Amino acid sequence: MFPITKAEKLAEKIYLMDVEAPRVARACQPGEFVIVKMDEKGERIPLTICDFDREKGTVTIVFQTLGASTIKMAELKAGDAFQDFVGPLGNPSEFVKEDVEELKKKKYLFVAGGVGTAPVYPQVKWLHEHGIEADVVMGAKNKDLVILEDLMEQVAGNLYVTTDDGSNGRKGMVTEVVKDLVVNQGKKYDVCVAIGPMIMMKFVCLLTKELEIPTIVSMNPIMVDGTGMCGACRLTVGDKVKFACVDGPEFDGHLINFDEAMKRQQMYRTQEGRALLKAQEGDTHHGGCGHCGGDE
């Protein structure tokens, strides 16, 4: 069992939990994810890692209540426990493997939308701890849905908050802030990392392609079982079929077919849609098994 040491409601339908999982905490890196199960019959839920404390042996997860399982999970309190807490899974962020001195020569821009702020935070924190300051644009519908603002402010070089209604920070979309920073303020960025709703990542990538800023996105929003076997997170990256959970979750955003990925995400919600996708995609429907090429 994996005890919950802290349970907190961050915003409407958004929850944070610290979970005692020493082995995961020792090994995890920014960009990776875990799979949690509440009990023996519980659904497998993949969640990106928001933070970790190697000394305490805890891992922080943030999730949004979207279905029956996450609604039930939100009822857990400190002192309760998960039956399974598996990880770290996926691949860490690319910069973790780079030379720190070379990283210091680059200027990073992070764009976080909604719950996407959770996986952005450990990346910005990791860079900060290695002496690299990154700019961060955080977006939400309104002030009540802005999460982790205080924590992000402690690790970001510059933090820009924007809300759709202007109730916190600037009024407007994250893309407007990015364009203002680059076009009007003349800021130069070597890499952009965008994490959030699919539609947000799509439009950030359209803009950064126009601005000629290489962009990495995390496709964790389309993961379902986290092993590549369900076919939910199949996507086209350039001319190759990839799976977010076994090949990612981070990819070159300028190569992703977002329209296809969003269409598949809608279809996957129904049994009929899943059956149709499986029939249409044949042997490339799932990955991770070593037979369809999805894990190459």
Q: DSSP labels for 77-127?
A: -BTBEESEEEEEES---GGGGS-HHHHTTS-EEEEEEGGGHHHHHHHHHHH
Which whole number is the average pLDDT over 235-251?
82
**273 — pLDDT class (breaks 50, 70, 90):** very low
- Residue 236 in this model has a pLDDT that exceeds 50: yes
Asked if 219 contacts 233 with a C-beta cutoff of 8 angstroms, the reply is yes
In angstroms, rounded to a whole number, what is the distance separating the alpha carbons of residues 170 and 62? 25
What are the residues whose beta carbons fall under 8 Å from the beta carbon of 213, sequence distance 6 or more? 109, 182, 189, 190, 191, 192
Q: What is each CA distance from 166 to 116, 146, 172, 182, 212, in whole angstroms?
A: 19, 12, 7, 21, 29
Other Cβ atoms within 10 Å of 139 Cβ, number: 29
pLDDT tens-digit series, residues 108-142? 999 999 999 999 999 999 999 999 999 999 999 99
In angstroms, rounded to a whole number, what is the distance separating the alpha carbons of residues 109 and 132? 12
User: Coil, helix or strand for 255?
Assistant: helix
Q: Which of 174, 136, 141 is nearest to 154 (CA)?
A: 136
pLDDT tens-digit series, residues 92-102? 998 998 999 99
Q: What is each CA distance from 50 to 84, 152, 179, 234, 294, in whole angstroms?
A: 18, 12, 27, 24, 27
| Cα 182–chain centre separation | 24
- Exposed, middle or buried: residue 247 (CB in 10 Å: 0-12, 13-18, 19+)? buried
User: Coil, helix or strand for 72?
Assistant: helix
Domains and CATH numbers, the chain: 2-89 (2.40.30.10), 99-218 (3.40.50.80)
Which pTM was predicted?
A: 0.85
In angstroms, rounded to a whole number, what is the distance separating the alpha carbons of residues 274 and 270? 6
Q: Which of 120, 112, 91, 94 is nearest to 33 (CA)?
A: 91
Q: Which of 97, 92, 89, 79 is nearest to 17 (CA)?
A: 79
- Residue 200 in this model has a pLDDT that exceeds 50: yes
**285 — pLDDT class (breaks 50, 70, 90):** low
